[in-house]
Structure 1
Amino acid sequence: MSSTPPVASGLHAAQSLVDVAPPIALGALDGRYRGVVAGLVDHLSEPALNRARVHVEVEWLLHLTDREVVPGVRRLTDDEKARLRAVVTTFGADEIDEMSATERVTQHDVKAVEYFLKARLRDIAPAKEDAGLAELIHFCCTSEDINNLSYSVMVQGAVRQVWLPRATALVEQLTSMATELADVPLLAHTHGQPATPTTMGKELAVLAWRLRRQLRRIEDAEYLGKLNGATGTYGAHLAAVPEADWEDISRTFVEHLGLTWNPLTTQIESHDWQAELYADVARFNRVLHNMCTDVWTYISMGYFAQVRGQGTVGSSTMPHKVNPIRFENAEANLEVSNALLDVLASTLVQSRLQRDLTDSSMQRNIGTAFGHSLLAIDNAHRGLDGLDAVPAAMAADLDANWEVLGEPVQSAMRALGARGVPGMEEPYERLKELTRGRRIGQDDLVAFVRGLGLPADVEERLAAMTPATYVGLAPTLVRHLP
């Protein structure tokens, strides 16, 4: 009698991959696509957050001592300032490990940063009379004073130094394609049906124009910050040094970090600027998604050929295939990015009374949201780079759809009828009878036009028109792109 193999056979009995060194990434961004999104690691990773915290804490100490806010505390020398700032610029693997070890003891990430810096300051200013300097690290700060400024600095750097340059380059690539194809006639489709001809360049220009508008909004984004204590009242500040102008000290410090000062907050900075930024990035993503689906459709119609990168495998079984995978990959990553950006934008603006910790967990996903957007931008760029326009395919579709010239003929008849020219009655209805539900050719249309009794110049103009020449101002409209 045969026995059934145990369920634990196969993958269930395979060796665990958890302890493989180096660690195997759970997510695609840190595994398969690491190279594409690596630039974000310096801005939006956990180590980058700790480095930003160190930066904020160092600058706060220098701000307090430079302005001699606390009476009796000396100003630091230029050498001491340089050595403190070097703690930020040289922050690397050893510092990451040290801070992680400290956090395992403190069970508090910002406190670990404070202890890390106090140890460094003792090395930089070891004199006995300077022992009190360490107490100005994290002076009168709640954790959120440091965190909100750190995130503002990080996101600003990620957007301006990594995301925006890549997004701008993509829009410039699309703009260049639009200019090159400005004169290439294209059969437009509305509701999926043949419609008034346009040009490929004009259609791409529409997408480039839309994307560029969103980039301008993102370029103009404000990055807010606050430093006003545990409940936004400067309570501890006034208790410690009542004679100081704490609002001015806070404002000048936040502005020194390159941020916009928020004067009115609870314990947390309200994150409204983040919601605004993520909504704009999500809108850029959605327009880019529209570009991907349109270009994918043009490829399926034969208007673009994927002739470059022929070493790729389109199908494991069909050798002839070259799939538009770059655009499909971009679509998927844009959808993941937007799901995260939308939830960030909708939840970060909410906080229970003075604060809750939901924002802390949420903000740790900012890098992932931007990572998937950046990956989509990269795929869209590579997809566009592999395309060649096929004017012959576009021309063939135009030549097969002469009925689209019913629009200019009936429009010319309307204009003549409005001027009192006889025989121009019911132009729409007459063209509908000619074209609705059936294909017509050039001979059919020309015969119809010549039988209308049009003025000679109008008749000749309409009789000479073809679907390929009926593109209106489409070629010149592309010039509106910067």
Structure 2
Amino acid sequence: MDPNSTYSSPLVSRYASKEMSENFSNNTRFSTWRKLWINLAKAEKQLGLEGISDLAIEQMENNVYNIDYEVAQEEEKKRRHDVMAHVYTFGLVAPEAAGIIHLGATSCYVTDNGDLIIYRNALDMIIKKLVWTISDLAKFAKEYRALPTLGFTHFQPAQLTTVGKRATLWLQELLMDLRNIERARDDLKFRGVKGTTGTQASFMQLFHGNHEKVEELDQLVSELSGFSSSYPVAGQTYSRKVDVDMLSPLASFGATAHRIATDIRLLAHMKEIEEPFEKDQIGSSAMAYKRNPMRSERVCSLSRHLMTLIGNVLQTASVQWLERTLDDSANRRITIPEAFLTADIVLSTLQNIFSGLVVYPMVIDRNIKQELPFMATENIIMAMVEKGGSRQDCHEEIRVLSHQAARVVKEEGKQNDLIERIRSSSYFAPIIADLPKLLDPSTFIGRAPEQVDTFLEKHVDVALAKYSQTLEAKTEAQVNV
């Protein structure tokens, strides 16, 4: 079938990385099932279960990736059961194991355990990209630690801050996301070998009522599958609350990403900061001069989708009747992969933005000069008082001049001329020589540069310290591009 004649999810065809797309592919899913069947057979054999030969295990191991999808699809049409279709398909290429594949297990042995393996791999990928993203933004914050810029509250000009200090506000939220995603990853356990309704009854039968061996089987299969432990109890599935705990930090990251990208879009409108713009990139089909913040817009667009997906897993977790109900299945097949694919591309896009942000100091300085005269009035008043003036008289003088300047700006569309008015006023003659110092933007930024330094050293560097190899891999990847 022509791939262009049917719908294809843009998350895969247009956005997400090859790495994340492959993690949720059929090849990964069904080869993981086969590895789980091998681990089960190995553990059962090790614990003394008869009828599992070395040849059977060898044949299974030699055919992990030899998946005949046509056979599996035909069998699933017949049986209406995907797991049994793949048991049958695996048995065709591992005939010595055909009778023992899936021995004692329920479908959720491979579906749930397989999902948990895939989800943990996906979380590792997300953490890696988040670490890279934080590292790039930290470099930006350090470079612009002391560059004064207008601060905004209510998107109205407020006291000055620095470009680097503003970046630490973004960084702090990304560090929270890293902490939350790390916690979700480390909290993931294995469903293990729990049987049809979680009672392990089938394995009790296989091991003739030996509780110790059944417990040992659960632990051994978990370890063979890369988990130190399994959830202590389960119904037919692992608790769907696990999915809530896993997607919540991804949704929260979506909120962070949306906020950061929105800030960049606002700053781009002011022409203070722009995202990277490639040499041959087109901003508008009609307006050739435009440099639209399309990367930041994409981050906002996809982040909105990411934030909505948590509602699905919350609702799914809330309606799991008794030991399980199957209305979770179709929903989870869509929701959870989409959450990871979306988070993946949002991170890749943010990293691209942070690694090439363009700052325009002259525009920033021009915008400061439009507002700084008003902000400097208190400094001017205090300087006049030091020269022997009356605070009340000075306040009234500067109030009148400020209102005149504001009217010129708002009603006539002219530049802020408050400083020129002050220079022309004989009242302010005692401090005219001090005006350059009183209007120096660097004197209005408080401890912003030092706050950046402290934050990077005590928080960002500490959080990234254990990821030295991940950061080295990023550097190597950049060199090899």
Same fold (TM over 0.5): yes
Asked whether 1:40 is paired with 2:47, we answer: no
> 282, 285, 290: which one pairs with 2:251?
282
Unaligned 5+ runs, structure 1: 1-18, 126-132
The answer to whether the 8 Å contact 1:185/1:469 transfers is: no
- Segment of structure 1 superposing worse, 375-384 or 362-371: 375-384
Q: Does 1:270 align with 2:239?
A: yes
Superposition deviation, residue 229 in structure 1: 1.2
Structure 1-normalised TM-score? 0.79
CA separation in 2, counterparts of 1:394 and 1:137? 67
State the shift of 1:338 in Å: 2.1
How does 1:222-371 map onto structure 2 within 5 Å? Answer: 222-226=187-191, 227-240=193-206, 241-245=208-212, 246-259=214-227, 260-305=229-274, 308-348=277-317, 350-365=319-334, 366-371=336-341
> Offset of 1:460 from its aligned partner?
6.9
The question of whether the paired residues in 2 share the 8 Å contact of 1:324 and 1:383 is answered with: no
Q: Distance in 2 between matches of 1:50 and 1:63?
A: 20
Structure 2: how far apart are the matches of 1:212 and 1:135?
Answer: 50
Matches within 5 A, 1:80-479: 81-88=57-64, 90-91=65-66, 94-122=67-95, 125=96, 134-160=98-124, 162-221=125-184, 222-226=187-191, 227-240=193-206, 241-245=208-212, 246-259=214-227, 260-305=229-274, 308-348=277-317, 350-365=319-334, 366-401=336-371, 402-406=373-377, 438=406, 441-442=418-419, 464-479=438-453
**What are the Cα deviations for residues 357-412 of structure 1, in whole angstroms up to 9, with x where unaligned?**
12211221122222222222233333344531000111111111122235667999
RMSD: 3.5
Does structure 2 conserve the Cα–Cα contact (< 8 Å) formed by 1:272 and 1:348?
A: yes
Counterpart of 1:264, as a letter, is: V
Q: Deviations along 1:147-198, whole A, 9 cap, x unmatched?
A: 11010001111221x3332232222221211111111111011001110100
Equivalent position SS for 2:239? coil
Q: 1:223 is aligned with what amino acid?
A: L
- Name whichever of 216-225 and 177-186 sits farther off: 216-225
The number of residue pairs the alignment matches comes to 435
Which string of whole-angstrom CA distances, capped at 9 and with x for unpartnered residues, describes residues 193-213 of structure 1? 110100111111210221122
Q: Is the 8 A contact 2:261 2:297 kept in 1?
A: yes
The DSSP-based 3-state class of the residue aligned with 2:309 is helix
CA distance in 2, matches of 1:83, 1:429: 92
Q: Which moved more, 1:292-301 or 1:349-358?
A: 349-358
The separation in 2 between residues aligned to 1:316 and 1:38, in whole angstroms, is 30
Alignment partners' CA distance in 1, 2:195 and 2:398: 74
Aligned equivalents of 1:236, 1:147: Cα separation in 2: 18
AA matched with 1:362: N
Q: Select 2:2's aligned residue among 9, 15, 20.
A: 20
Q: Which moved more, 1:205-214 or 1:334-343?
A: 334-343
Kept after mapping to 2: 8 A contact 1:348/1:362: no
Residue 401 of structure 2 contacts residue 418 of structure 2 at CA under 8 Å; is this kept in 1?
no
Q: CA deviation at 1:86?
A: 3.4
The CA deviation string for residues 231-277 of structure 1, in whole angstroms up to 9 with x for no partner, is 11122222332124222321332233223411112221102222112
Q: 1:335 to 1:194 in 2, by over 3 A?
A: same
Structure 1 residue 20 displacement after superposition? 2.7
* Structure 1 pair 231–87 and aligned structure 2 pair: CA distance change class (3 A): same
Identity value in percent: 20
Tell whether the 8 Å contact from 1:175 to 1:208 is kept in structure 2 after alignment: yes
1:25 Cα deviation from its structure 2 partner: 3.8
Change in CA separation of 1:304 and 1:234 when aligned onto 2, cut-off 3 Å: same
Report the structure, 1 or 2, having the larger helix content: 2
Report the more deviating stretch, 196-205 or 348-357.
Answer: 348-357
Whole-angstrom distance in 1 between the partners of 2:98 and 2:61: 15
What whole-Å deviation, never above 9, does each CA across 1:101-155 have from its counterpart, x for those lacking one?
3222221011112222333332xx4xxxxxxx64432222221222110100011
Alpha-carbon distance between aligned partners in 1 of 2:117 and 2:393, rounded to the nearest angstrom: 66
Q: Secondary structure at the match of 2:443?
A: coil
| Alpha-carbon displacement from aligned partner over 1:30-71 (angstroms, at most 9, x marks no partner) | 4333xx432223222344322222221121111111222x2x
What is the CA-CA distance between 1:428 and the residue it aligns to? 10
Looking at structure 1, the residues matched to 144 and 287 of structure 2 have their Cα atoms a distance apart, in angstroms, of 32
Q: Hey, what's the Cα distance between the residues in 1 that align with 2:369 and 2:205?
A: 82
Amino acid in structure 1 at the alignment position of 2:23: H
Residues 400 and 441 of structure 1 are in contact (CA less than 8 Å); yes or no, is this contact kept in structure 2? no
Distance of aligned partners of 1:447 and 1:52 in 2 relative to their CA distance in 1, 3 Å threshold: farther
What amino acid maps onto 2:362 in structure 1?
A
Alpha-carbon contact 2:382-2:391 (below 8 Å) kept: no
SS at match of 1:309: coil
Cα deviation, residue 427, structure 1: 11
How far apart are 1:312 and its partner, in Å? Answer: 1.1
Deviation (angstroms), 1:468: 4.1
Report the Cα distance in structure 2 between the residues aligned to 1:60 and 1:462, rounded to whole angstroms: 78
334 and 351 in structure 1: CA distance in 2 versus 1, 3 angstrom threshold: same
Structure 2: gaps spanning 5 or more residues: 407-415, 462-481
